[in-house]
Amino acid sequence: MPELVFFAGTMDCGKSTLALQIQHNRSARGLSGMIFTRNDRAGEGKLSSRLGLITEAIEAGEGFDFHAHLVKHLTAGGRADYVIADEAQFLAPEQVDQLACIVDDLGIDVFAFGITTDFRTRLFPGSQRLIELADRIESLQVESLCWCGARATHNARTVGGRMVVEGAQVVVGDVGTAEGEVGYEVLCRRHHRRRLTAAAARAGALSPDVLPVDGADTPLPSRP
């Protein structure tokens, strides 16, 4: 049976790499797919991974109708055995509904890839709708790590290494950006709550004063 599958994870956990791997495996078996993306780091109409892999894709911008596009393609004699939708967190809820209709009405597998929450730990509308509709939700097995070595569970937006918690939900950036630019960093929940990025931790280590947050959760020693 065809499925709508949502592959979810934090930034830097290999979502786009897996999307490209799925495309490679299926094309090697003679299957033909359609690849969509939105706001990819490599630019419009590209699906890229941080490993340097890249392929052409259809830019699914605001107002794009997935179902209508597939119907038009098939009616014109085209072929589509599967659909890949990367950066699915940026999709509008109605676009996710269209992906579900592709599965149900056209009998085509849809593989969607995206992060679940934004830099404020709030669900992206597209990811929320995917969680509501997907036949299957897969957590990416490649775990991103916080600077402290713990499993990263949250995405943080940074400016010059400092974490920010206000601003538009969608601002295109990437991990490891130059100082002063808008970037992103994956953190464990503990350090996301404390707004303690890698740069802030390094600054604290060089400071003669202990950061106030460092001991915030440390229990007091028990009295004999």
Does residue 135 have a pLDDT over 50? yes
| Percent of the chain clearing pLDDT 70 (strictly above) | 81
pLDDT tens profile 173-219: 555 554 557 788 889 999 999 999 988 888 877 554 444 444 444 44
pLDDT tens profile 7-47: 998 777 678 788 888 888 998 999 999 999 987 776 677 77
Distances in Å between the Cα of 190 and the Cα atoms of 121, 146, 172, 186, 187 are 13, 10, 25, 12, 8
Whether 87 is a known active-site residue: answer yes
Domain presence at residue 24: yes
Q: Does 94 lie in the same domain as 39?
A: yes
| Percent of the chain clearing pLDDT 90 (strictly above) | 47
- The range of the structural domain enclosing residue 178 comes to 154-207
Tell me which of 44, 56, 62, 87 is the catalytic residue. 87
pLDDT given at position 207 = 53
Distances in Å between the Cα of 163 and the Cα atoms of 3, 11, 26, 148 are 38, 15, 40, 16
Domain presence at residue 148: no
Domain presence at residue 14: yes
Q: Does 197 lie in the same domain as 115?
A: no
Domain presence at residue 220: no
Q: Does 199 lie in the same domain as 131?
A: no
Coil vs helix vs strand at 71:
helix
Q: Is 180 left (phi over 0), alpha (psi -120 to 50) or beta?
A: left
pLDDT given at position 174 = 53
Q: Does 90 lie in the same domain as 192?
A: no
pLDDT tens profile 66-111: 999 999 999 999 999 999 999 999 999 999 999 999 999 999 999 9
pLDDT tens profile 138-183: 987 667 789 999 988 888 888 877 888 877 776 665 555 545 577 8
